[in-house]
Structure 1
Amino acid sequence: MQHNGFRRALGAGLLVGSLLWGGQAGAWGQLGHAVVADLAEAELTPAAKAEADRLLALVRQQHLSAVASWADNLRNMPDFQALWEQTRAQHYINYKTDDCAYQAARDCPDGQCVVAAIERNAALLADPKANDNQKVMALMFVVHFVGDIHQPLHNSYRLDKGGNDFPVVVGGRDYNLHGVWDSYLLASRRLDQAAYTARLSEDLPKPEAGTPASWSGESCAIVRDDDLYPKAGGRKAFKPDAFKQSKSEEWARRGTQGGEEDGEASGNQDTLDRRYLKKFLPLAERRVQEAGIRLAQLLNATLPAGTPKK
């Protein structure tokens, strides 16, 4: 089991200190991750809620949302740099082809991807022999990674780093496509955490429970939507078959070249208009809802099973 050495060595006091660090969150931003956690917490069974509360108390927290961005904030914590380096690739998965059916040997051969990370940490939560330090870290990772796996561009193309190298303009400001999906879409509602949670709680979907692999496959399929990667000036949408086409590769890498390397707008950037937001904001919100429901289902299945016997 990876990272067990860190989990045994790190005490609750250090974990408590780590939660005091702020930082820029990844998928969905801090707002989205917090809303996912709030939606999940409202759906926990009494047994799962009791165990979650017990583990959260070890790091002096009362709600899942308080730890929802911990896995991202590791990057800013001096005492956790080794753990960040070991887990940074576990926030996403890069599919090598247009096939969204996850194959571990092909898509995650070293176990360093979001699908495998959820599976490992869920197993720890369900293991009554795992110690509390292992479990509280597994809980914080699971809460975050289930959010990550439902963000489409965390299940994307290696060529443009999941949209990080795909520059766009929104409202006259420079972004990359990944950042639009991480933060801009949800932030455009201009709602705080409580208001957004209330909004998304009103009409919760009932998604198939599925598995981490199938959740990732759903996100991967969304990325393949012809309109998710915007096109301008008659340019064709980005497709994975561009991997072998040098011209398309040069285009896909444009976010790290020339003036765009300094964040300057260029003629190659795409402008996202209201039509883009109108189409994809509801989809982003549905993925947040599905993440919350499935996180609750996962915790309801694992936390009671792993509760220490009295």
Structure 2
Amino acid sequence: MYKKITLVALLAFLPFSLLAWGVEGHRVIGKIAENHLSKKARAQIQQLLGTERLPLVSTFPDEIRPYPEFAHTSPWHYVNTPVGLGQDEYIRTITTMEKPNAYRALQEQLQKLKDPATSKEDKVFALKFIVHIVGDVHQPMHTATAETSGGNKIKVKFRGRESNLHSVWDSGLVDYPAITYLEMAQQLDHATKSEVRQWQQAVPATWFWESYQLSQPLLTEAEQHPDLDYTYYPKYAPTVEQRLLQAGIRLAGVLNEVYGG
């Protein structure tokens, strides 16, 4: 169903704004999830991926986006809704949205992964997208408003360079500490049993709602103060770290559920 594509070749021309959470962020999430897999889920995933691992396949959906045959997957990375929705209205909006979006894609790929009739090749494809989408939707800008195109239309300056709010949250804040994804995963992966239980009990629509809520003041602040100075990273690093950790814990929960772990 898909071609094997080298990461190096693709990253040479893949637009920066498309790297949701950046390579490092997605790999952090994949590694944290890997740490929390049940034995059964781990064995089933290894059977599908072979020598590949969750952290490294986490960026596959970004790697294939420039190819015309995968153009239909572009909307699978986000969901944009109007500004100012309450929780019930927001959840109703994303769960009934007919056009392709991250929520719909996640449900479809989970169903394919669970279906015994799905071919191994299609299950591998579905798994890689699940890993990626769960990460994407914990990044606030991937559920931000349609009016701002997920923060892409909000021009800002970060660390003295011209950028946009979406890119800052995709990669700028994650890359700021300049440590490897393994180091970051080790640093962040200290959720309590209570937190793991609470985060995994939340349904996917709640994950989207959390990010949507986070995105609203971020958009307003950046529109009013587009020069993101040296105080921006320390102010929002805790939010970034929590969303990365929650994404990893919840990804593990989803995969453990799929495989009855």
- What is the DSSP-based 3-state SS (H/G/I as helix, E as strand, rest coil) of the residue aligned with 1:220? helix
TM-score, scaled relative to structure 1: 0.74
- State the match for 2:221 in structure 1: 230
Match of 2:19 among 4, 26, 51: 26
Q: Secondary structure of 1:32's match?
A: helix
**Aligned equivalent of 1:90, options 76, 90, 96:** 76
Structure 1 portions without partners, runs of 5+ = 1-9, 236-268, 306-310
* Structure 2 unpaired stretches of 5+: none
User: RMSD of the alignment, in Å?
Assistant: 2.2
Check whether the contact 1:94–1:107 (CA below 8 A) recurs between aligned residues: no
Q: Which residue, out of 171, 178, 199, partners 1:183? A: 171
Give the Å deviation of 1:106. 6.3
Corresponding pairs, count: 250
3-state SS in 1 of match to 2:163: strand
2-structure distance, mates of 1:109, 1:214: 16
Among 49, 53, 57, the alignment partner of 1:67 is: 57
Match of 1:208 among 199, 202, 218: 199
Q: 1:164 aligns with which of 119, 136, 152?
A: 152
Letter in 2 for 1:218: E
Does the 8 Å CA contact 1:96/1:158 hold for their aligned counterparts?
yes
1:274 counterpart SS class:
coil
| Aligned mates of 2:166, 2:96 — CA distance in 1 | 21
Indicate conservation of the 8 Å contact 2:5/2:64, yes or no: no
Q: Residue 275 of structure 1 corresponds to which residue in structure 2? A: 231
1:6-155 residue pairs with structure 2 within 5 A? Answer: 10=1, 14-17=2-5, 21-23=9-11, 24=14, 26-57=19-50, 61-77=51-67, 81-83=68-70, 85-101=71-87, 102-104=90-92, 109-155=97-143
* Stretch moving more, 193-202 or 213-222: 193-202
3-state SS, counterpart of residue 174 of structure 1: strand
Report which of the two structures shows the higher radius of gyration computed on alpha carbons.
1
TM-superposed CA distance for 1:82, in Å, is 2.2
In structure 2, distance between residues paired with 1:231 and 1:27:
19
Partner secondary structure for residue 93 of structure 1 = coil
- TM-score using structure 2 length: 0.88
How much has 1:111 moved relative to structure 2? 4.5
Deviates most, 24-33 or 161-170: 24-33
Q: Once the two structures are aligned, what percentage of the paired residues are identical?
A: 31
Q: Which moved more, 1:46-55 or 1:270-279?
A: 270-279
Change beyond 3 A, Cα 1:104–1:231: closer
- Tell me how far 1:19 sits from its aligned partner: 6.0
Listed one character per residue, the Cα deviations across residues 180-211 of structure 1 (whole Å, up to 9, x for unaligned) are 00001011111111111111123464343212
